[in-house]
């Protein structure tokens, strides 16, 4: 049975540094420590009318009916785990991310853009942090709520507009004002001009990640056997464009006036203008070089 809910608050939390825990404590003791954290988080979920969707390793995925319940549960999770004593000298910590929006529930699981956004928020959090979106904060109706601060605007895959990201300052207590002054830095909207064979295109803030490779599913199909099927991608991150290699033979980048660099499962910010070679030197003259120019 599938049902479309108007909105859900999806929250991810995981035990930070669990790999180090296993290395330092050994499997049995580390597993007990992780389970202790997960059990505390599960009790918090129950206490705020939420539901544990799944637990994978050291991570728990949960849902709440409102943004209010989500933000309260996130703060209580942090407090409860912080109260745990160190295990063999290792202090336990969690990182939490959540997002409120439309979601689809099916066979006990939850799907959709809200889940992806919540996962992205959790991925931005560090140990002891709670991250969420400004969109979620605007849905919180509590008269007394944790203080938050807007920390950045990030480019998120699948989103045309940048996502405003907030940190929930749970350690300050629960009787603080709702919002702090935004400290998001302003930036210019840049454009990236690309030319490859007969193809010429512009990447701007309305364009998602650009995929490059031999496979016909790529936005720019590279017609060179030295290129990988899914060779590279270019992502916009605020006012910058990042070239990300994911190939076998590497991506060769020459920025005008600089030495050529080779990317192998690495990334680099594109600057000025230059050329990109797919599996071979950008210094080689040929039709399979891509030229680029970053326009401010």
Q: Find the DSSP H helices in the chain.
A: 18-25, 27-47, 67-82, 113-124, 134-137
Cα Dmax for the chain: 66
Mean pLDDT value of segment 106-122: 91
pLDDT tens per residue across span 59-76: 999 999 999 999 999 999
Q: Find the DSSP H helices in 48-100.
A: 67-82
Give the Cα separation of 30 and 176 in Å (integer): 36
Rg of the chain over CA atoms, in angstroms? Answer: 23
Look up the pTM and report it: 0.63
* Residue 180 in domain: no
pLDDT number for residue 49 = 95
214 and 163 belong to one structural domain: no
Do 208 and 158 touch, CB atoms closer than 8 A?
Answer: yes
CB atoms within 10 A of CB 272: 11
Lowest mean pLDDT among 32-36, 156-160, 198-202: 156-160
Do 201 and 212 touch, CB atoms closer than 8 A?
Answer: no
Lowest mean pLDDT among 93-107, 138-152, 262-276: 138-152
146 and 199 belong to one structural domain: no
158 and 29 belong to one structural domain: yes
Sorted by sequence, the CB contacts under 8 Å of residue 209 that are 6+ apart come out as 157, 233, 234, 235, 236
* Residue 164 in domain: yes
14 and 149 belong to one structural domain: yes
Residue where a domain terminates, one of 138, 172, 206: 172
Split at pLDDT 50, 70, 90, the class of 204 is confident
Tokens of 86: 């160190």
Number of domains in the chain: 2
Residue where a domain terminates, one of 141, 172, 203: 172
What domain range includes position 247?
Answer: 191-295
Split at pLDDT 50, 70, 90, the class of 172 is low
Give the Cα separation of 182 and 165 in Å (integer): 10
């Amino acid at each position: 049975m599938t049902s479309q809910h108007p909105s859900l608050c999806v929250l991810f939390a995981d035990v930070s540094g669990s790999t180090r825990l296993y290395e330092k404590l050994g499997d049995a003791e580390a597993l007990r420590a992780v389970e202790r954290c997960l059990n505390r988080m599960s009790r918090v979920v129950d206490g705020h009318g939420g539901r544990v969707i799944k637990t994978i390793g050291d991570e728990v995925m949960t849902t709440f009916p409102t943004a209010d319940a989500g933000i309260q549960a996130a703060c209580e999770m942090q407090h409860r785990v912080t109260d745990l004593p160190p295990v063999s000298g290792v202090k336990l910590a969690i990182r939490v991310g959540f997002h409120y929006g439309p979601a689809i529930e099916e066979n006990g699981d939850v799907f959709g853009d809200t889940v992806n956004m919540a996962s992205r928020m959790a991925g931005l959090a560090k140990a002891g942090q709670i991250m969420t979106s400004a969109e979620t904060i605007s849905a919180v109706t509590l008269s007394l709520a944790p203080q938050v601060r807007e920390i950045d605007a990030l480019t998120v895959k699948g989103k045309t507009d940048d996502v405003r990201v907030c940190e929930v300052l749970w350690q300050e207590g629960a009787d603080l004002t709702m919002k702090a002054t935004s400290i998001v830095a302003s930036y210019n909207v840049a454009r990236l001009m690309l030319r490859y064979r007969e193809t010429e295109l512009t990447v701007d803030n309305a364009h998602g990640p650009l995929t490059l490779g031999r496979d016909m599913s790529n936005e720019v199909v590279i017609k060179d056997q030295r290129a990988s099927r899914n060779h590279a991608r270019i992502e916009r991150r605020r006012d910058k464009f990042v070239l990300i290699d994911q190939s076998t033979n590497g991506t060769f980048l020459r920025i005008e006036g600089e030495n050529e660099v080779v990317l192998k499962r690495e990334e680099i910010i594109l600057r000025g203008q230059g050329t990109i070679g797919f599996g071979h030197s950008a210094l080689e003259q040929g039709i399979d070089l891509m030229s680029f120019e970053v326009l401010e």
